[in-house]
Amino acid sequence: MANTDRWKRQLTDHRSKKVVFLSHCLLNQNTRYLGGACERGATPSVVAECLERGWGIVQMQCPEQRAWGGVLKRHLLRYYGSQGTLLDRTRNLVLPILLWYTRLIYRRLAKQVAREIADYTTSGFEVVGIMGVNGSPSCGTEQTIGFRQSLQRVVNLTSSATRHDMNAIVLSSLTPGRGLFIDALQREIKRLGLNVPYLAFDLPSELREQPIAPILSDA
């Protein structure tokens, strides 16, 4: 430890020693649900603010990509427009299993992220926040959407549905609360005795093409 401290002092460099943990799609909107990407890749306002503040960016894995069948979330996509099919009729039987599996994967991912945060904090870095995505059933920090309710709505999508229909489902399903992944992460962070602020990216405003609030209110 004394050796580590000596080298840290001796090799002082330009690093800010501040990092922010971001939900994956803030740096890569390609992982959003189909219809939900508002940028070609990264979210410029988020990247600009991190650069301006000198924060290192740690990109968390996309939990839905891991749990729901890859980047296109194929397990969920099968339900789109499935009204009246066998898949729809057995939905209520399958849903508890899907939710159980989702929670299992999310708990594993949350443990990894919490351990990484602990590594930073015990190494003398400041984790300025964990930034989730409001309106996401997984990454919402202040606002989420009910999984069952939104699934019911995508089942009812017609064959002519557009991205506006998808985004209307999200916007009309918003409810206060945390998404399933952020919930799991909060529990892991608490278990390790860490204290990290939660930040929220304003997806609803992005979908409505309204101005997006800065990450921190003093920005």
The residues binding ligand SF4 (CB under 6 A) are 23-25, 31-32, 62-64, 133, 136, 138-139
Q: Give the residue nearest to ligand SF4 (CB).
A: 25
In angstroms, what is the minimal distance from the CB of 144 to ligand SF4?
A: 10
Q: Where are the extended beta strands (E) located within the chain?
A: 18-22, 56-59, 126-133, 143-145, 174-176, 198-201
In angstroms, what is the minimal distance from the CB of 157 to ligand SF4?
A: 18
In angstroms, what is the minimal distance from the CB of 52 to ligand SF4?
A: 23
For ligand SF4, the closer of residues 47 and 83 by Cβ is: 47
For ligand SF4, the closer of residues 21 and 120 by Cβ is: 21
For ligand SF4, the closer of residues 24 and 178 by Cβ is: 24
In angstroms, what is the minimal distance from the CB of 70 to ligand SF4?
A: 12
Q: Counting beta carbons within 10 angstroms of the beta carbon of residue 141, is it exposed (0 to 12), middle (13 to 18) or buried (19 or more)? A: buried
Mention every residue, 6+ apart, whose C-beta is less than 8 A from residue 11: none
The C-alpha atoms of residue 16 and residue 13 are separated, in whole angstroms, by 9
In DSSP terms, 174 is beta-bridged to 145
Mention every residue, 6+ apart, whose C-beta is less than 8 A from residue 59: 22, 24, 26, 27, 28
For ligand SF4, the closer of residues 49 and 88 by Cβ is: 49
For ligand SF4, the closer of residues 13 and 45 by Cβ is: 45
The C-alpha atoms of residue 107 and residue 180 are separated, in whole angstroms, by 9
In angstroms, what is the minimal distance from the CB of 76 to ligand SF4?
A: 11
Amino acid (one-letter) located at 169: I
The SS3 assignment for 95 reads helix
